[in-house]
Amino acid sequence: METMVRVEGGEVWADDTGGEGVPLVLLHPGVADSRVWEPVLPALAEGRRVIRYDARGFGRSPAPTVSYTAAGDLKAVLDHFEVGRAVLVGTSMGGATAVSGALNEPGRIAGLVLLVPGITGYPDLEDKELTARIAELAQAGDMDGLLDLSLRLWAAAGTPPDTEAATLIRAAIPAWFTTYGHVTEDPPAFPRLGELSMPSALLLGEQDLPRTIRCNEEMARALPDCHLVRSADCDHLPTLRVPGVVAEMVGEVWARAS
């Protein structure tokens, strides 16, 4: 069932398959919207309740007009659907949101599946030269340049023409700018990973950016109960590259959490 969920000062689009048991809550990356889950959604929804939503400015969710935090919006979605306990499945930006949400309400999160995740508070994760280049292309209105750069950086495992990745990334790019100045970063989470004792799994893409690989290795070591999976065929879009691996990881964590 699709619906619009009220969040502080705005709303987000969400979809709930319904069903019993501990639900899966899917959090998309910053290079795509919730359509990125479609290659794995049939497998994830088999016998499980699955909730997914578009972060503000992405997909079918309106751009923000007030300050907000990603973890605050996650809580609002969980509250809306009356979720007492959930397994969070987050990719990249969504992984960072999942970790922050778990730190905020550890008793509410039964498990974590982190796919090439980001995280707040990790030193040297931001590439200032890349940020400057993105700003330069944006000021020039060069959407094709932004897309080409993004495909080189985050979709290296794709075979040109990588139309599926290109469609998702092109649609996500405007949100990078409509959310700027509104989204407030959640507090540093990396130093607190040792507090998260729930079952977890982390997928690392060997074709991802080197600094992301280093971050993911350190995250997996810091999480007390984490199964690290390394994929040689994966870049920053694991649901497109290795959907079977993603579905298996989610199933294992969900079974343990349930």
The reported pLDDT for the residue numbered 128 is 86
Range with lowest mean pLDDT among 29-38, 90-99, 123-132, 241-250: 123-132
Range with lowest mean pLDDT among 31-40, 70-79, 120-129: 120-129
Q: Does domain 2-257 have CATH number 3.40.30.10?
A: no
Q: For a pLDDT cut of 70, what percent of the chain falls above it?
A: 100
Domain parsing of the chain, residue ranges: 2-257
- pTM (predicted TM-score): 0.97
The reported pLDDT for the residue numbered 125 is 80
Does residue 127 have a pLDDT over 90?
no
Does residue 124 have a pLDDT over 90?
no
Does residue 225 have a pLDDT over 90?
yes
The pLDDT tens digits of the residues spanning 173-202 come to 999 999 999 999 999 999 999 999 999 999
Q: Give CA separation, 131 vs 18, 176, 177, in Å.
A: 40, 11, 12
Q: How confident is the model at residue 231 (pLDDT cuts 50, 70, 90)?
A: very high
Name the residue among 121, 29, 40, 44 with its Cα closest to residue 87.
44
